[in-house]
Structure 1
Amino acid sequence: MISFPNAKINIGLNVVSKRKDGYHNLETIFYPVKLADALEIIPSEKTGFSSSGIQIDGEAENNLVFKAYKLLQKDFDLPPVKLHLHKVIPFGAGLGGGSADAAFTLKMLNEYFELNISVEKLESYAAQLGADCPFFIKNKPTFASGIGDKFEPIQLDLSAFEIMIIKPNFSVSTPEAYRNIVPAPANFNLKEIERLPIEDWKDIVKNDFENSVFPRYPEIEKLKNQLYEMGAIYASMSGSGSAVFGIFRHLPTNTDKYLPKGIFIYR
């Protein structure tokens, strides 16, 4: 069985308050995009995990795909399988690739072994693997709040537009991005975004992490500005970076004119 765990982008991201437990409350929109990894599950005499594509560092046992299998194996006594992940979604990009891989593993195992786990229960399992993992169970546009773990469906459809994602050849760690964040109530209710023309997003829909990341990594801000120079209607950093995305009516063809070499580009 093969599936294609897809990435997400954050449209708007407001860090609204700091919690007593040290975490932050935020508000954002998770929007699924077509950029995807490939995940395969096949029968095996011994459970194992392998990967190709972008190099994955660390032990197999620490990968979220393997952890997702072990989570269900504990409750359902699953037989051994071979899990292979072809990694395309870059790490440290704010695109949710690891979370998508984990959630899709849960969904695949549920189907493969006919476990009949409900969507709600799959979301519960996914929440044990990461705050945003449950989003990828339904994998539909979602308004997220809390620490990014409270979800409400939102009617946002960007199918008439094209999205370009670019990532510099370095990553930004989430703790680093939070380091200089100053929480504040949002100036715009992101749940109202479906009523806002996309041409107005540029001046209203903000990612608060840009305030803390851009001064330290001006290359990311430059990439965002270059997306606007290429004709993007809206451009933003996704999550805590380092990827940025642009929403276009029609994707430009002469990207070499604007973008430096050696960066990840997905159209």
Structure 2
Amino acid sequence: MRAKSYGKINLSLDVISKRRDGYHNIKTIMQKISLYDEMEFIKIKRGFKFLSNVDELDNEDNLVYKAHNLLETYTGKKLPIEIHLKKNLPMASGLAGGTGNGALTLRALNKIYRLGISLEELCKESLKLGADFPYMLVGGTILAEGIGEKLEVIDDFCGQDLLIVNPGYGISTKKVYENLDIDNDRIDFDAIREALKTKNFFKLSKFLQNKMESSVFKNHPDLSDIKKKLKEFGGIPLMSGSGATMFAIFDDRVNLNKAYDYYKDLYKYTYMAKTVGGEDEL
């Protein structure tokens, strides 16, 4: 079974408070994008085999390994599988590539072994692996709250042109949260939802915000420079997740092409992409 494992962006991200369990309460709009890793799942007689074009992923900290172990524990069954992963997305980039790989592994095993686990059950169990798992299992245009487990489907924002720029290094989400200054100013998600629904790009440019940017930009001023330049090209720029990926929404393909031509020679991981639902992953 071959499948696509899409990345995601955050169409705004608010960090509201820190919880007693160490997690943070957030509010965010998440959207899958047309960039993806490639995965293949092969049913075998016994054991677990993992092959990837990135050697450092061949360890038990990999979320593909953890997803397989989680489902074996949850079902009480052995689920022998061979998994091939071609990693295209940059790692530790704020695109949830690793989480997407793990989420797709859960769905693939559920389908291959006809386990009959509902999407709701998978989402609940997957929280043991990470807060972004429920969204990466569901996809689409989603408002997420809590630690990311409370999901609300909102008006579709698929098919929108994007430029993705990654500077080629990763950023630790854990360290970003540890150094984050949480303020009392909340992002206006009602205004963002209305602007997404009506494709009002002027309003989007006013209301889209990522509360992690100020903390990340202190240590990585190059990301701030990328954001400013993307805006000069006519895009609506934002950092995705905890970085280091920057993206910009474009409603003019001429401006998109100009921005792409500028960045493609500066950064290896520069892509033109679109927002997608992700329903064709598996």
Tell whether the structures are fold-level matches, with TM greater than 0.5: yes
Query: In the alignment, is the contact (CA less than 8 A) between 1:230 and 1:258 conserved in 2?
Result: no
Q: Secondary structure at the match of 2:83?
A: strand
Deviation at 1:258, TM superposition (A): 4.8
Given the two structures, how large is their TM-score scaled by the length of structure 1?
0.90
Q: Which runs of 5+ in 2 are unaligned?
A: 273-282
Query: How big is each residue's C-alpha offset from its partner over 1:151-202, in whole Å with a ceiling of 9 and x where there is no partner?
Result: 222214142x201111002121113322442212343331442212222222
> Residue in 2 aligned with 1:230?
233
Deviation at 1:50, TM superposition (A): 1.2
> Residue in 1 aligned with 2:275?
none
What pairs with 1:43-82 in structure 2 (closer than 5 Å)? Answer: 43-45=43-45, 46-52=47-53, 55-57=54-56, 59-74=58-73, 75-82=75-82
> Residue in 2 aligned with 1:126?
126
CA distance in 2, matches of 1:248, 1:162: 6
Judge which range, 2-11 or 122-131, deviates more: 122-131
Query: In the alignment, is the contact (CA less than 8 A) between 1:230 and 1:252 conserved in 2?
Result: no
Q: CA RMSD in A?
A: 2.0
Query: How big is each residue's C-alpha offset from its partner over 1:206-236, in whole Å with a ceiling of 9 and x where there is no partner?
Result: 111111011211111111122122221x110
CA distance in 2, matches of 1:220, 1:125: 35
What pairs with 1:13-24 in structure 2 (closer than 5 Å)? Answer: 13-24=13-24
Residues 61 and 179 (structure 1 numbering): CA distance in 2 closer, same or farther, change over 3 Å?
closer
> Residue in 2 aligned with 1:12?
12
CA distance in 1, matches of 2:71, 2:23: 28
1:204 equivalent to 2:203? Answer: no
CA distance in 1, matches of 2:179, 2:65: 34
Query: In the alignment, is the contact (CA less than 8 A) between 2:39 and 2:83 conserved in 1?
Result: yes
Q: Secondary structure at the match of 1:220?
A: helix
> Residue in 2 aligned with 1:41?
41
> Residue in 2 aligned with 1:257?
262
Higher helix share: 2
CA distance in 1, matches of 2:111, 2:154: 27
Query: How big is each residue's C-alpha offset from its partner over 1:5-50, in whole Å with a ceiling of 9 and x where there is no partner?
Result: 1011001111112223333221111111111111111133442111
Deviation at 1:137, TM superposition (A): 1.5
Q: Which runs of 5+ in 1 are unaligned?
A: none
Judge which range, 126-135 or 179-188, deviates more: 179-188
Query: In the alignment, is the contact (CA less than 8 A) between 2:212 and 2:242 conserved in 1?
Result: yes
CA distance in 2, matches of 1:103, 1:96: 10
Residues 139 and 158 (structure 1 numbering): CA distance in 2 closer, same or farther, change over 3 Å?
closer
Given the two structures, how large is their TM-score scaled by the length of structure 2?
0.86
CA distance in 2, matches of 1:218, 1:174: 17
Query: In the alignment, is the contact (CA less than 8 A) between 2:90 and 2:168 conserved in 1?
Result: no
Deviation at 1:253, TM superposition (A): 4.6
Aligned residues: 263
1:218 equivalent to 2:217? Answer: no
Aligned-residue identity in percent? 34
> Residue in 1 aligned with 2:104?
104
Q: Secondary structure at the match of 2:56?
A: coil
Deviation at 1:76, TM superposition (A): 4.9
Judge which range, 9-18 or 75-84, deviates more: 75-84
Query: In the alignment, is the contact (CA less than 8 A) between 1:178 and 1:212 conserved in 2?
Result: no
Aligned amino acid, residue 165 of structure 1: I
> Residue in 1 aligned with 2:248?
246
Residues 176 and 259 (structure 1 numbering): CA distance in 2 closer, same or farther, change over 3 Å?
farther
Residues 170 and 186 (structure 1 numbering): CA distance in 2 closer, same or farther, change over 3 Å?
same
CA distance in 2, matches of 1:145, 1:56: 35
Q: Secondary structure at the match of 1:62?
A: coil
Residues 194 and 99 (structure 1 numbering): CA distance in 2 closer, same or farther, change over 3 Å?
same
CA distance in 2, matches of 1:254, 1:202: 17
Deviation at 1:65, TM superposition (A): 0.9
Query: How big is each residue's C-alpha offset from its partner over 1:110-129, in whole Å with a ceiling of 9 and x where there is no partner?
Result: 11122221111121232222
